[in-house]
Amino acid sequence: MSYNTFGRVFRFTTWGESHGPALGAVIDGCPPGLDLSEEWIQPFLDKRRPGQSRFTTQRREPDQVRILSGTFEGRTTGTPIALHIDNVDQRSKDYGEVAKAYRPGHADYAYDAKYGFRDYRGGGRSSARETAARVAAGAVARAVIPHVRIRGWVEAIGGDAIDPASFDADQIDANPFFCPDPAAAARWETLVDAARKAGSSLGAVIACEATGVPAGWGAPLYAKLDSELAAAAMSINAVKGVEIGDGFAAAALSGEQNADAMRPGENGPRFLANHAGGIAGGISTGQPIRLRVAFKPTSSILTPVETVTRAGEATEIATRGRHDPCVGIRGVPVVEAMMALVLADQMLLHRAQTGR
Amino acid sequence: MSYNTFGRVFRFTTWGESHGPALGAVIDGCPPGLDLSEEWIQPFLDKRRPGQSRFTTQRREPDQVRILSGTFEGRTTGTPIALHIDNVDQRSKDYGEVAKAYRPGHADYAYDAKYGFRDYRGGGRSSARETAARVAAGAVARAVIPHVRIRGWVEAIGGDAIDPASFDADQIDANPFFCPDPAAAARWETLVDAARKAGSSLGAVIACEATGVPAGWGAPLYAKLDSELAAAAMSINAVKGVEIGDGFAAAALSGEQNADAMRPGENGPRFLANHAGGIAGGISTGQPIRLRVAFKPTSSILTPVETVTRAGEATEIATRGRHDPCVGIRGVPVVEAMMALVLADQMLLHRAQTGR
Amino acid sequence: MSYNTFGRVFRFTTWGESHGPALGAVIDGCPPGLDLSEEWIQPFLDKRRPGQSRFTTQRREPDQVRILSGTFEGRTTGTPIALHIDNVDQRSKDYGEVAKAYRPGHADYAYDAKYGFRDYRGGGRSSARETAARVAAGAVARAVIPHVRIRGWVEAIGGDAIDPASFDADQIDANPFFCPDPAAAARWETLVDAARKAGSSLGAVIACEATGVPAGWGAPLYAKLDSELAAAAMSINAVKGVEIGDGFAAAALSGEQNADAMRPGENGPRFLANHAGGIAGGISTGQPIRLRVAFKPTSSILTPVETVTRAGEATEIATRGRHDPCVGIRGVPVVEAMMALVLADQMLLHRAQTGR
Amino acid sequence: MSYNTFGRVFRFTTWGESHGPALGAVIDGCPPGLDLSEEWIQPFLDKRRPGQSRFTTQRREPDQVRILSGTFEGRTTGTPIALHIDNVDQRSKDYGEVAKAYRPGHADYAYDAKYGFRDYRGGGRSSARETAARVAAGAVARAVIPHVRIRGWVEAIGGDAIDPASFDADQIDANPFFCPDPAAAARWETLVDAARKAGSSLGAVIACEATGVPAGWGAPLYAKLDSELAAAAMSINAVKGVEIGDGFAAAALSGEQNADAMRPGENGPRFLANHAGGIAGGISTGQPIRLRVAFKPTSSILTPVETVTRAGEATEIATRGRHDPCVGIRGVPVVEAMMALVLADQMLLHRAQTGR
């Protein structure tokens, strides 16, 4: 069954395919009285927009968002907010070959197995183009939690990681890779360029941090904040791994090493470490929330790969069309959006339960 | 808000605290006509039961399950199945100190921040004791998908990993660590024993694999199989990381390296690799589903750690009481159960949508 | 909290206000492979469209639906179906007075109490205009259950009821009242005309029947078919009462009178009566499903009524603008749509649970 | 699919059959810090308990509730609250005949059609015994909204209604019929006694009113307060009709007659009438919420009725066993409970959205 709604009280539903006329999101459960305009949303979409450097797909989409409902005189009314983005630059003729054979690593075969047929143009529903709708919805979520600051960056491309010691937040927006380490950014330019020219692709690790989340958001178990963030991140196309705080590294530690000791602080305890990524027992501690996400390399590559046709015959396929050599780069605003959407939902749930 | 229901059409809700009179689960949406008895469920609980070796907590719980509703003459009726497990061996007096100060790495402070107060006895709701209810529910889920085989094991403890070349499935149940590599099991005996004697604790990585899942279960995006599994795994206490297939390792690959090439096979394509962990575009491909989960070391350790009291004063705390030196070990049947619960739900959703 | 999604596995979300640029629905969970086009949906919208006779509002809306996602080459793909309808004939200047004072019987005061402010133009979100989105979604639902026939009619206007003995299904579409009794239709012409000219309004009772529903859809209690239909019908603007089968009349019967006796039939039992409205114990029996719905008279009337301003001062208000003298008439296609939406959802749930 | 969870953020799930060992409810989403004990819940169960007069079933059930989780030192902790009630007085041997043939008006045939088989003992899941779990859950809901007063009564039995002019709230608990009109209570004694002696049964109309609900709870459309109450009431066994405010009577009025005019009041407007039953546009107005519910006569009667066997052969069936001659009487505490459950949920949703 296709499930395209996310969230519990702040819920959004996305729709749209890569090569349909438009895509969008409907946000239900947004509090009334918040300032909201297309001008507020657009910069987030611009950050994700393709075609801004030679390191992303050359598909040209203005990604202009329109608000079709749910606001009145510049403020939210508490009713569903419909966000609409037209698709402008589809080129369906690129996909003739894809209609006949399954691209390895892509959803093609699984789709056919599930649905019996598929919209093969640009990946249809499983295109990364869908993430535009998430980013627009995420901008609305940010308006719900104005005191929370959410910031993502690329931590590694193709296995080449930044040097944590060189982390400089001001650098993130100063290069086409959302890279906080200038030396790494320089190396990635060579790396991604080479992949692009070879028609290859590279995986990436994205990190995202939220500051300003007070202690107390989340739940002990099934909707624990870790679980909600994991579901959100893993719902993005191409994501195959998620970590909160130290993640897999914590599995190699002892209890002493992993303890986030506390000293008296001004507003609640002052923590001496943040192995837990700002979440203990599923609930925020007031420390920064830390999330890491693994994007696989996109399977759209020029090198022919062995595969089968719909009829089950052996063949090879090379993916033409316009693609991101490293889809993880544009994943940064998407991961940020998903974090904003989860946190806005949790803030409202917390308010429901506690009145605060 | 506390959310303790998981699943979309095969849904279960758990309840119970570490030191309450009992705990349990209610399963709603189970198909009618399945053979189900306490004898079917009990072996799964026995596998998770504490006190079976010196490597787990010495709390003695028989964990006898009773089915209180939803079956008639040994078969499910399609109505809610209530599973009930009595708590027998609580020792609340162990927790006086915990009432006054926050254990670092535990849920204590976050709970107080959220709820204003907490049941401090044994971690209350966030105790790993809750996982008994999941394991019982998971046994019911397995009855829904009898052709699917789900098998988990421990892959690493405290950073010491198995040798994949020595993997022997028959060894998994032959040692107290669910370890498929006899040499690693021998090393872990020394390792965990040392941690236990020192009152320390160790993290672990659990792997879990499902075979027999046909191509087609899952959804492209928000309820994609990866996302459902991630949410399920991350909802378990102490879990801080999740990977599907190659996970973070895929982020270091190129598209060529990560492609799961296909050749014609007997029933659908034959895959030449399984980097994707059996899931492409959120939908199962017919290959084995592969999941890896990181458990942090439990924060219950004898070494005093700096912390603060409820009143905000500096203090130190050492956790007495009975605890698992490596909570990840008993996580194996829990991760298996969560995988079964997700797959049963997805099977029913697939059947709803396609009639197959 | 605003909740604008309805359904469990066949779910739809509507958005849009009376005087916004557009309105629409997103359908999630529709099975793949169904024939679906704008041509299929449009006739249902046309049936509901305003301005077709002098007995409905004179607002001129073409209500042309566009499918923006979820189909490929004329068939559903299993992904979200976005339906879009432009608003064309808004006249916001009609509503100046409404901005200042609360119209009795309307949502005005309650909205302000909840949200702190409101979109006063044409009732905003609570306008009957929203029902266009339901009718479009209902047309998609009908494609899911092609063997089910759903047919509604008006049973009474302003307390003047049809004569059941004169019921003639062929008459329903032969007059502007969806009236199956020609004599009643003639009387209603006078009645509604008088109300229209006086600037008054009238309530109505709508009946709706589904045939072709097999025995077995529904659930014993919380999602019992009666309950789902009641929630669906009561979610329509202006509806204040719902009955299944004999409804309130059954409360005046004895058990003997109310028994739907059975005799052997060709496919399952042959029922000798249908007091239960085709639903016993929450589950369909194979008999026609019978639903009755009470629409109150719209509160938009020309007669001045005592009310208060937003500032709390006494005043009087008369509602200008264009309105239906009997909003229940156009409720017929809306009730039909809601019944189709509930039944499509139940069919899929039944298939999930039973494989049939 | 069986769905046994109700509510959006204050959610409860019930389980249990008429002749199983026990029944219960799990409440998830209850705010922390509320006083809650078995002593608080028990009086509500006592009000519903069978065998208290000759006018209800003679099954003897103490209906002692136990709280198994979710409280600590007499207060709710914010985690799931498990309520448990043992079944004590089952007599399964009464049901031999029911196993073989379908009781008309009962769920028997529909169950078999859906599930393929059924627990025939006492109606299994569709027994009115399940309502004990609702009443217990409803008591918890009342603790969430202490300022709301909810009071139900019987308005008519077998078509014999109270005289509204004789309404005396103090009389409701002074007779075994929850009847506010002493003269009607006297007539009903004769009426119900006659039905009981004849082995017949009678339908009933229940009214329920909530005062103290502030203006602003609810939502404009799909979760409008009317719709939530209708779903809640219609989810009770034997209920076939629901009205909010004037309900079907409103359908016979003109807009002038149905207008609830307003004058300036102390806290918000003072309403001159309450045709709307305290809900306008789906949102509470601050007036009393008024709900009416139709219970059909139970189909368990001694008079033989024509029916068919499971094998499809013609037969007759008379229902022995112990039954309520008028199941609507004990419906009063059940309808009250459902209203409390809906309002507690809406209060929390309102608080989530508005912070009030």
The domain locations on chain D are 5-354
Chain B: closest CA distance from residue C9 (Å):
8
Determine the distance from the C-alpha atom of residue C298 to the mean position of all C-alpha atoms in its chain, rounded to a whole number: 15
Could you count the other beta carbons within 10 Å of the beta carbon of residue C302? 15
> What's at B355, amino acid-wise?
G
Cα separation, C204 vs C293, in Å, equals 8
Cβ neighbours for D335, distance < 8 A, ≥ 6 positions apart:
D152, D206, D208, D233, D236, D291, D293
Strand, helix or coil for residue A319: coil
The pLDDT value recorded for residue B93 is 65
Domain D5-354, what architecture?
Answer: 4-Layer Sandwich (3.60)
Confidence of residue B48 (pLDDT cuts 50, 70, 90): confident
Of D8, D79, D352, the CB nearest to A351: D352
- Give the helix/strand (H/E) hosting D337: helix D331-354
CA distance D199 to A152: 72
The answer to whether C323 and C298 have CB atoms below 8 angstroms apart is yes
E strand or H helix that includes residue D144: helix D131-144
Contacts of D283 in chain C (CB under 8 A): 107, 110-111, 113-114
Per the prediction, chain A carries an average pLDDT of 93
Could you read off the pLDDT of A250-278 as tens digits, one per residue?
999 999 999 999 999 988 899 999 999 99
Q: Is the pLDDT of residue B64 over 70?
A: yes
Mean pLDDT rounded to a whole number for chain D: 93
Sign of the C-alpha dihedral computed for residues A180, A185, A188 and A189 taken in this order: positive
- Average pLDDT of chain C to the nearest whole number: 93
Residue with tokens 């049941």: B119
Among the partner-chain residues B2, B79, B115, the one whose CB lies closest to the CB of D29 is: B2
**Residue B260, phi then psi, degrees to nearest 5:** -95, 85
More confident residue, D200 or C267: D200
Interface touch C282/D251, C-beta < 8 Å = no
The pLDDT score that the predictor gives to residue C300 is 84
For residue B1, pLDDT over 70 is answered with: no
Question: For the purposes of burial, counting CB atoms within 10 Å of the CB of C187, is it exposed (0-12), middle (13-18) or buried (19 or more)?
Answer: middle
| Partner residues linked to C279 by β-bridges | C284
Nearest-angstrom CA–CA distance, A80 and A29: 7
Kindly state the average pLDDT of the residues C292-303.
Answer: 92
Are the Cβ atoms of B29 and C353 closer than 8 angstroms?
yes
Distance of CA B62 to the CA centre of its chain: 19
Residue located via tokens 């049809």 = C162
pTM for this prediction = 0.97
What is the Cα–Cα distance from D79 to D28, expressed in whole angstroms?
A: 7
Instruction: Tell me which DSSP letter residue C121 carries.
Output: G
The mean per-residue pLDDT over the stretch D30-55 comes to: 91
Residues contacting residue A20 through CB under 8 Å, at least 6 positions apart: A87, C68, C69
Q: Which are the contacts of C76, defined by CB distance < 8 A and separation ≥ 6?
A: C30, C31, C32, C33, C34, C36, C70, C143
Q: Are D313 and D258 in contact (CB under 8 A)?
A: no
| Angle at D207 (CA atoms; ends D205, D212), nearest 5 degrees | 170
Yes or no: say if A271 and A285 are a contact pair by the CB < 8 Å rule.
Answer: yes
What does the pLDDT read at residue A59?
A: 74
Per-residue pLDDT, C321: 67
Question: What pLDDT sits at residue D96?
Answer: 75
CA distances from D130 to B344, D1, D15, D207, D235 (A): 27, 18, 8, 21, 11
The residues, ordered by sequence, that sit 6+ positions from D187 with a Cβ below 8 Å of its Cβ are D160
Nearest to A52 by CA among A39, A40, A42, A62: A62
pLDDT number for residue C191: 96
Q: Is A298 annotated as a binding residue?
A: yes
- D5 contacts C262? CB cut-off 8 A: no
Query: What band does C93 get if pLDDT is binned at 50, 70 and 90?
Result: low
Q: Does the pLDDT of residue C92 top 70, yes or no?
A: no
Nearest to residue C84, comparing CAs of C135, C25, C155?
A: C25
CA C112 distance to own-chain centroid: 26
Residue B217: HSE in the Cβ half-sphere, 13 Å Cα cutoff: 27
Q: What is the distance between the alpha carbons of residues A230 and D82, in angstroms, rounded to a whole number? A: 28
Residue pLDDT, tens place only, B273-294: 999 999 999 999 999 999 999 9
pLDDT bucket at D94, cuts 50 / 70 / 90: low
Annotated binding site of B: 48, 54, 125-127, 237-238, 281, 296-300, 322
Instruction: Suggest the residue from B98, B157, B221 to mutate for an interface test with chain A (most A CBs closer than 10 A).
Output: B221
Q: Do B116 and D32 touch (CB under 8 A)?
A: yes
Q: Provide the H-helix boundaries in chain A.
A: 38-48, 96-100, 108-115, 131-144, 182-198, 225-234, 255-258, 331-354
- Cβ distance B78 to C351 less than 8 Å, yes or no, reads no
D51-63: pLDDT as tens digits:
778 887 777 888 9
Element (H, E) at B204: strand B204-211
Distance from CA of A306 to the nearest CA of B (A): 5
Q: For the residues D60-74, what does the mean pLDDT come to?
A: 93
Q: Which residues contact B199 (CB under 8 A, 6 or more apart)?
A: B301, B302, B303, B318
pLDDT of residue A141: 98
Cβ C217 vs Cβ C229: under 8 Å: no
Q: What angle do CA B232, B236, B238 make, to 5 degrees?
A: 140
DSSP one-letter string for D21-75: SEEEEEEESPPTT-B--HHHHHHHHHHH-TTSSTTS--------EEE-SSEETTE
8 Å CB contact between B215 and B284: yes
What does each of the 356 residues of chain A score in pLDDT, given as a tens digit? Answer: 568 999 999 999 999 998 899 999 999 999 999 999 999 999 999 998 877 788 877 778 889 999 999 999 999 999 999 999 999 877 766 677 778 899 988 889 998 899 887 888 877 898 889 999 999 999 999 999 999 999 999 999 999 999 999 999 999 999 999 999 999 999 999 999 999 999 999 999 999 999 999 999 999 999 999 999 999 999 999 999 999 999 999 999 999 999 999 999 988 899 999 999 999 999 999 999 999 999 999 888 888 999 999 999 999 998 776 678 999 999 999 999 999 999 999 999 999 999 98
Quick one: which of B112, B12, B238, A346 has its CA closest to D72?
Answer: B112
CB contact under 8 A, A77 and C21: no
Mutate which of A34, A72, A73 to disrupt the C interface (most C C-beta within 10 Å)?
A72
What ipTM did this prediction achieve?
0.96
The label of the residue with tokens 């198994």 reads D68
Question: Between chains, do C2 and A78 touch, taking CB under 8 Å as contact?
Answer: yes
Query: Do C224 and C216 form a contact (C-beta atoms < 8 A)?
Result: no
Q: Which residues of chain B neighbour A277 with C-beta distances below 8 Å? A: 240
**D3 vs B244, higher pLDDT:** B244
Q: How large a percentage of chain B has pLDDT more than 90?
A: 78
